[in-house]
Amino acid sequence: MDPIYGRISANKRKTFFLFFLYALLFGFIGYFIGIYLGDPVVGIILAGVIFIILFLISYFSGQEVVTKMAGAREVRKKDEPYLYNTVEALSIAAGRPMPRVFIIETEVPNAFAAGRNPDNAVIAVTRGLLNRLDRQELEGVIAHEMAHINNYDVLLATVAIVLAGTIVFVSVIARRMMLFGGMGRGSGRRGGQGQLIMILILLIVAILAPIFAQLLKFAISRQREYLADATAANFTGYPEGLASALEKITNQQVKDSPIENKALEGLYIVNPSLGARSGNRAGVLFATHPPAVERIKRLRAM
C-alpha cells in the first residue's frame, strides 16, 4: 500500500475516535447540567439532540458558514481567470470535481479549503497570496488544499470547528447558570451541600471543557498538514514550489490581521495567529499547525 494512503486511513480512524470523545464530552456536560436542573436524563437528551443537530448543520452547510466567517466571496472565471485556471487545471489533472473558488480581499497571503467531500468543497485564497506567489508556488498551495479535500480533511476540520465552538458556548452558559442561578432547588444543610458539590463539579467541567475541545481540534489538524504537504508534493511532482510558498506565507503573517480568527485558524495553510512565530517551541503544544520550518524541511527532503 502507498504510505500516503496508509496514513490517510490511520488518520481517519484517529479522527473518528476524536469525534467520539467530542460526543462523550458533550454528554458529560449535559449530564451535570441536568443534575443541576434536577434531572440528569433530560440534560443528556438535550445535549444529544443539540449535538446531532449541529453535526448535521456542519455537514451539509459547513462550507457556507466558514466562507462567511472568513469574509470570502465566490469568484468566476471572468472575475479571476489566473486563479480560476490554476484550480481548474489541477482539478482536471487530479481527476476530481473542481471546487468552488473564493477570494478574501486582504494583502496577507494565506489560503484554506472547506466542505464535506470533493463534490461539495471550496478553496479560498487571499489577494495577497495571488500577488506574492509565482505560478509554481501557487500550484503548490492549491495542491495542498486539494489534498485536504481529497483526503476528506475538510469535512473533519469543518465539523470539528462547529463542535468545538459549541462546547465552548455550552460551557459559557454553564458558568452563567452558576453565577446567576443561585444554589438551585436544594433546601437545608444536606441539600445545600449536595447542590454545592454539583456546582463545583459543573464549574470544573465548564473550565476544562473549552480547553479539551481546543486540544481535540488541534490534534485533528496538526498531523494532517504533514500529510497534505506530502500529498501535494506527490501530486505536483515539485515539492520546492510548496516549500517556497510556505516560507513566503509564514514570513508575511502580521499581528491582528483581517484573517486572524481563532475559530478558523486551523483551516488555513499557515496559522494567521502565529505566522513566523510558528517555529517557537513554547507554542507547539497549543499550535493548530506543525512548525513551518519542519514542514519546509520535510518537503525539501523529498
- Three cell numbers written together for 224: 494532517
DSSP 245: H
Catalytic residue among 145, 225, 260, 265: 145
**What is d(CA 73, CA 103) in angstroms, rounded to the nearest whole number?**
6
Per-residue pLDDT of the chain in tens (302 residues, 90 and over written 9): 555 666 667 666 777 777 788 788 888 878 877 877 778 898 899 888 888 888 788 788 888 989 999 999 999 999 999 999 999 999 998 888 999 999 999 999 999 999 888 899 999 999 999 999 999 999 999 999 999 998 888 887 777 777 777 777 776 776 676 666 554 444 455 456 556 766 766 677 777 777 776 666 666 667 789 989 999 998 899 999 999 999 999 999 988 888 988 778 888 999 898 654 544 544 555 567 888 999 999 999 98
Residue range(s) defining the domain that contains residue 193: 3-58+160-218
- For residue 81, being part of any structural domain is answered with no
Q: What are phi and psi of 77, to 5 degrees?
A: -60, -40
- For residue 37, being part of any structural domain is answered with yes
Q: CB count, 10 Å around CB of 89?
A: 13
- For residue 262, being part of any structural domain is answered with no
**What is d(CA 83, CA 36) in angstroms, rounded to the nearest whole number?**
54
- For residue 190, being part of any structural domain is answered with yes
**What is d(CA 21, CA 127) in angstroms, rounded to the nearest whole number?**
38
- For residue 208, being part of any structural domain is answered with yes
- For residue 155, being part of any structural domain is answered with no
DSSP 182: T
- For residue 174, being part of any structural domain is answered with yes
Task: Confirm if 53 and 85 have CB atoms less than 8 A apart.
Answer: no
Active site residue 145: yes
Helix (H) or strand (E) holding 115: strand 111-117
Q: For residue 258, give the nearest of 64, 65, 72 by alpha carbon.
A: 72
- For residue 49, being part of any structural domain is answered with yes
Task: Confirm if 112 and 264 have CB atoms less than 8 A apart.
Answer: yes
Please count the structural domains in the chain. 1
